[in-house]
Structure 1
Amino acid sequence: MDLYDSEDRLQIFPEGNTRMRREVVQGLEDDHELGDEFVGENTLRAGVSEYPPYVMKRRESAREQRDWRFGGEATEAEDLSFGGWGSRGQCQDLREAYRYTRGRSSEEYECYVIPEEEDEEEAPDIFCVTCKTPIRACEKVLDEHKGHEVTPLDKALENAKDEIHKNMFKLERQIIEMENFASHLEEVFITVEENFGRQEQNFESHYNEILETLAQKYEEKIQALGEKKKEKLQALYGQLVSCGENLETCKELMETVEEMCHEEKVDFIKDAVIMADSNRLGKFLKTKTDVELSTQPDFEDQNLDFSDVEQLMDSINIIPAPSAPVINPQAPNSATGSSVRVCWSLYSDDTVESYQLSCRPVRDGSPQEDQAAFTVTVKETYCSVTNLVPNTQYEFWVTAQNRAGTSPASECAMYMTAPSPPIIKIKEIRSCEEAALICWESGNLNPVDSYTVELTQAETPEASGVTESVVGIPTCESLVQLQPRQSYTIYVRALNVGGPSARSKPAVVHTTGSYFHLNKDTCHPWLTISEDGYTVVRSERKAAAREQLPSNTQFTRCVAVMGNLIPVQGRHYWEVEVDDCLDYSVGVAFEDVPKQEDLGANCHSWCMRHTCASSRHKYEFLHNKMTPDIRVTVAPRKIGVLLDYENSKLSFFNVDISQHLYTFSCQLHRFVHPCFSLEKPGCLKIHNGISMPLHVADY
């Protein structure tokens, strides 16, 4: 909005009072603070009447501008204001300025006219906030505005501009809103037009169908009437022919009788005897002539059945029956173990009062036809179906209803409930300082897509906040990298197209050392493993014979058992608590070690063997039936075993006195398992998950 456009400015000074106009313009020119913002060079050259810059222009026609007067009404004052500066005081000043231009005293226009004798350089222009008018800071003028709130004119002008800019911003925002509303109205107009056009097509189609039905009924009725007419005429014609034949016969007999009556008596008697013998007259007289019409000539009232036409007429409604809905494919994470959220859509021009959603379970890829479908009625285009079986596929279809009827059923869609939570095999979890091998059972009859392992770095299962998640695991086993010397609470979830299952029951994993359990499948029948999986016992009596497993899995000749060590390269350490009276072997072996041979008797195993005879302790470090000549002077009560994959070493230590016993240089081209053997009754207790001692870590 240009406030200083000379063409539409308000004419305060009449054209006749040129001298006063020059005085005001000259005063504005001399004022260096107002500058060219208020009076431009083009304005002076054009000689167009000016008005003070604090008066806004009023966009009216030339006729309205000539008839315009300073009235004093609040509405006119607001039209002349700078962002709401208009007031009755300003209107009074404007009226005084107007009277001055008509020849009144210049004293009435002191707030607008700058006296020529004033030194304009000494006093800058100011603005009276109370009167809403600009003034000169001369004593005479200031006396009139004594006690009023004043401010520099530049600041007042900036405030006015800011107010105008705010109003312009509001107007622009309103324009945008009006344009958006107009666009929305246009869209509604187009939608209404399309809907009514579609309704018009529906009406035309229905009426054409009714006309075709009526024309077909007309043809059928006309044809039926023609058939009945032909049938009646044929029956009447047959009766007419029969009556004619009987009439002819009757005429012949009458003529014969009449001739006989004219004959002589003798001849009449002879002819009568002859006629009686022929029995012709008797037969004719006994013949009964049907004198009743076989068909009535009157027209039967035909009752026309217009039920189908009435049905068509009733189907012409403003709201037609809905079309078949379109059921949406299953969205990810839209199901739980016992519920599933089903969504569908409908054509935009259909009106629906309710929907009926039906489902039945699917097994082996085919729906269970013999099982009744579950149906629920809803008003929305979605429904959460509950009380379902976990990890089970269901077939869903939906129909729409309104007062005009029910739509056809949608195509069937397959939805899957989320799986049941897996079951972690706590006794099969193995770990070391850098990783853990987690094993679990699916817990579902049907296969799932994948599994997710969630780890919380905390001491208790109740701790919240998942620090790490391993996703997309295809099998029931996962090797997870962890931080050393920490405790983790681990959960497992199963996933399918329906979403993730609930968390499994938690399992706690420690990375303070290597954890492993003894494998019962490899245990010799004479050995027993404790419930915690860390103690091996050989009793005085031989255990009852158990079902023998294949020899490549279970030890047969060697009374030994294997442990399941985590398959991670690095350093593993565990300790074995022994008795100096025992005959035992402690070591490692490959998984395919011959189970019918002793530990250390082949190239697949390494062990430390102890035998005791008459208080004499013998220690051997066996591999492939060979042992170095090493004497152990102090019988260990606790043996430390260090398996170092990086350096291909297997070391044994006396833990109680921190003594190194022996180290094998092994060619460990694949992973090995801890092995423990008892040649006499006794027990071995394995300690794992412990930190590596300093004398072992520095070795």
Structure 2
Amino acid sequence: MEGEAAGASPDFHFYPMDLYDSEDRLHLFPEEPTRTGREVHAEMAGEPGGTAPGKAQRDLEEDVDELVPLSALGGAGEWGTELADGSAPHMEVLDHRLHGVQRDWRLGAEAEAGDRVCAGRGAAGSSRDLREAYRYAHGRASEEYECYVIPEEEDEDEDEDEAALVFCATCRAPVRAVEVSDEHREHEVTPLSKALESAKDEIHKNMFKLEKQIIEMENFANHLEEVFITVEENFGRQEQNFESHYNEILETLAQKYEEKIQALGEKKRAKLEALYGQLVSCGENLDTCKELMETIEEMCHEEKVDFIKDAVAMADRLGRFLNKETDVEIATQPDFEDQTLDFSDVEQLMGSINTIAAPSAPEINPQAPNSATGSSVRVCWSLYSDETVESYQLSYRPVQDSLPGKDHAEFTMTVKETYCSVTNLVPNTQYEFWVKAQNRAGPSPASEHAVYMTAPSPPIIKSKEIRSCEEAALICWESGNLNPVDSYTVELTQAETPEASGVTESVVGIPSCESLVQLQPRQTYTIYVRALNVGGPSARSEPMTVHTTGSCFPLNQHTCHPWLTLSEDGFTVMRREGKTPAKEPLPGNTQFTRCVAVMGNLIPIRGRHYWEVEVDERADYTVGVAFEDVPKQEDLGANCLSWCMRHRFASSRHKYEFLHNKTTPDIRITVSPRKIGVLLDYENSKLSFFNVDISQHLYTFSCQLHGFVHPCFSLEKPGCLRIRNGIAMPKHVTFY
């Protein structure tokens, strides 16, 4: 197929896919309006409503001439003759042939790939084999072809039936709306879509609980595995120790046996040698006596003279022999002497089985992720030698840089296993740990010191500084820890009450103590914040509820003029009666000095923001917006960085001005507003004011908003302004 494709027209591209698949697939031929065979004949015959017959015929012939050599439909002359004769086949026939060509292309590719991959199976392999060969030939993933589902067209009748269904919470089943008045009259019924969303939320909550339970079970299984490994290692070392000592005892006994056998042989040989020497001496004496007796008998037969001569010599010889002492006692006794065996060294070896050397130093492990809480940490260590250990001594103390100025006392605890959970610790604090192994012989040397860190304390959300709009919310919090943390996580729960469980969304890796979170409009969210470090995440902060209905912002106390007072909730600005302070505020970049005003902290989101201000008809006030760097020693509207609406009341007359850069249009307002609506539109760069009570548009500025602006409120005389934010935009506001 690759060769055929290469030999085709350069404008032709072969795509191994179904020509009549879903709209997401790439079509082989350009899309054209579907026409019947009759319309084709009409065009070729030049009937009304069709194009010129000659041009239509030539165009069709050119299309056929291009397709014929590419698709192997037959000779170009055959089709050209049919078209020229006016007997062109119907489009259904052409469509059928194109289907055949497309099918032949696909089957040819599959067969070719099947020959390469499944050689020997035959041409009639299963469709699954063809698909496998097709994937192999074209290098495509199986999911692209097996998991592709052609979307089914929805029937209008099915939509109407679904719309007619409601969910009965009592029966826990969908029912038709017409049946509610009869069988399910007293049952609790909700719309099917709402019941579906509720079921999805319940499933998400259960999945979250199940994931949490799975994590707990995995941690417990890891704990059991550590205990199992520790027990197995300890008993293995004990078994090796016993075997070694018993082998040593057997070697000692064998050595003693050899020594005793050798000593007995030496004593036997000494006794035999002594008896043999005594026996030889007795034989010699006996031979001498026999010789003397024979000599004396011979002398007795001699003559007297000779006898007397020999007798004198014999008498001397007999005297010497008789005077010689003869040992007639046995040199050694034949009895076996009892040998006392000394087994003191064997007994010492037997006792040394329970008297072993002190173990070597353990190796403490580095801290594992998520192994700590705010007040505890789990410490693990290892002992890689074959020595027997009865217990461990774990010591720890705070790192000196963590808690300056405090006594860094050391604490020691005795444990049996190679791990320990140390409690009563300070949150977000580093501790150094070291461990010793001990047995009857004594403790081992200390291991190297390892630094572990406890998890942080829960952050504290600043409820008065939270800002929101319909699209997002800016969450601010305090760390609550002495030492810095690594990052923060914001958890969102879309619910009506803070007690709702489950997490809808999490924003992780936040480096600072604030985060701008994108939200859905007109919803209520419960927000939590966690702090993270190497020890793990902290517990959740106290929940905070955020509404995305309108824009909500607090007033900035740092910009407030000293003559103004903010209420406890931060939404009322007051200037009291009485003599003003003689001391003027010092010039600064944040606090207003000349204009008695205060700024609000609007969320920095480009879009549409709306808030309202309740005013006193007789008060002198100014309401508007300004950039953060607006000169604080100038009045609002007196520069190009502020836009405002100012009211002056004198001699029972109201004067309204819409000021920007000291200019105002000539506008007269007949109905004095008691509630002013302010619409800030970043997209269209407009600032509009409204009389909320009568839904009247007052004025609109066309602003050059190159950055974010802040709401501004000013009181030139005693009075008060009540800011109402976090409210939805009225319908009449949306037109501007």
Q: What band does the TM-score fall into relative to the shorter chain?
A: 0.5 to 0.7
The aligned counterpart of 1:656 is 693
Rounded Cα–Cα distance in structure 2 between residues aligned with 1:652 and 1:366: 55
Counterparts of 1:192 and 1:461, CA distance in 2: 55
SS in 1 for 2:694: coil
Q: Tell me, what secondary structure is at the counterpart of 1:652?
A: strand
Q: Which residue of 2 aligns with 1:602?
A: 639
| Residue of structure 1 aligned with 2:462, choices 408, 425, 446 | 425
Which structure: larger Rg?
A: 1
**Matches of residues 122-201 of structure 1 in structure 2 within 5 Å?**
none
CA distance in 2, matches of 1:390, 1:629: 64
Do structure 1's residue 412 and structure 2's residue 436 form an aligned pair? Answer: no
What corresponds to 2:724 in structure 1?
A: 687
* C-alpha distance in structure 2 between counterparts of 1:391 and 1:193, whole Å: 41
Alignment partner, residue 425 of structure 2: 388
Which residue does the alignment assign to 1:495?
Answer: 532
1:583 to 613, 620, 629: 620
SS in 1 for 2:600: strand
**Does the CA-based 8 Å contact 2:615-2:674 persist in structure 1?**
yes
Name the stretch that deviates more: 535-544 or 501-510. Answer: 535-544
Can you list the C-alpha shifts for 1:411-465, whole angstroms capped at 9, x where unaligned?
0001111111111111000000011001111111111111111111112211111
- 1:526 aligns to 2:563 (yes or no): yes
Rounded to whole Å, the distance in 1 between the matches of 2:405 and 2:732 is: 68
**In the aligned structure 2, how far is the partner of 1:377 from the partner of 1:193?**
21
Instruction: Report the CA distance shift for 1:610/1:366 in structure 2 as closer, same or farther (over 3 A).
Output: closer
Mapped partners of 1:359, 1:669: distance in 2 = 57
**Residue of structure 2 in register with 1:349 after alignment:** 386
- 2:326 corresponds to 1:321: no
Q: 1:643 aligns with which of 680, 683, 687?
A: 680
Distance 1:394-1:540 versus aligned 2 partners, 3 A rule: same
Identity %: 83
Written as runs of structure 1 = structure 2, the 5 A alignment for 1:387-466 is 387-466=424-503
Distance 1:441 1:357 in 2: 35
**C-alpha distance in 1 between matches for 2:470 and 2:454:** 38
Give the ranges of 4+ consecutive aligned residues of structure 1 lying more than 6 Å apart after TM superposition: 191-194, 310-318, 365-370
Q: CA deviation at 1:629?
A: 1.2
Q: Does 1:483 align with 2:514?
A: no
CA distance in 2, matches of 1:646, 1:475: 29
Q: Note closer, same or farther for the CA distance 1:446–1:623 as it changes in structure 2 (3 Å cut).
A: same
Q: Number of aligned pairs?
A: 407
Maintained 8 Å contact 1:449/1:474: yes
Residue type of the alignment partner of 1:536: V
Quickly say closer, same or farther: Cα 1:348–1:544, change in 2 above 3 A: farther
Distance in 2, matches of 1:311 and 1:388, equals 48
- Cα-to-partner distance string for 1:76-120 (whole Å, 9 max, x where unaligned): xxxxxxxxxxxxxxxxxxxxxxxxxxxxxxxxxxxxxxxxxxxxx
* Cα distance in structure 2, aligned partners of 1:520 and 1:501: 31
Give the match's secondary structure for 1:478. strand
SS in 1 for 2:399: strand
Deviation for aligned residue 1:560: 0.5
Question: Would you tell me which structure has more helix in proportion to its own residues?
Answer: 2
Q: Does 1:535 align with 2:572?
A: yes
| Residue identity opposite 2:718 in structure 1 | P
Counterpart of 1:515 in structure 2 is: 552
Distance apart, 1:312 and its partner CA: 12
Partners of 1:627 and 1:203 in 2: CA distance: 109
Report if the CA contact (8 A) 1:580-1:636 is conserved: yes
Q: 1:552 to 1:432 in 2, by over 3 A?
A: same
Taking the aligned partners of 2:582 and 2:519, their CA distance within structure 1 comes to 42
Cα distance between partner residues in 1 of 2:422 and 2:353: 36
- Among 614, 624, 638, which residue is 2:661 paired with? 624
**Aligned mates of 1:546, 1:413 — CA distance in 2:** 60
Structure 1 unaligned blocks of 5 or more = 1-186, 208-309
1:593 equivalent in alignment to 2:630: yes
Counterpart code for 1:495:
L
3-state DSSP class of the match of 1:685?
A: strand
- 1:421 and 1:545 map into 2 onto residues whose CA distance is 46
Residues 422/354 of structure 1: CA separation in 2 closer, same or farther (3 Å cut): same
CA-to-partner distance for each residue in 1:658-677, whole Å, 9 max, x for gaps? Answer: 11111111110110000001
Question: Unaligned 5+ residue runs, structure 2?
Answer: 1-231, 253-346
Equivalent AA in structure 2 for residue 579 of structure 1: D
Whole-Å separation in 2 of the counterparts to 1:539 and 1:194: 89
SS in 2 for 1:427: helix
Q: Which residue of 1 aligns with 2:602?
A: 565
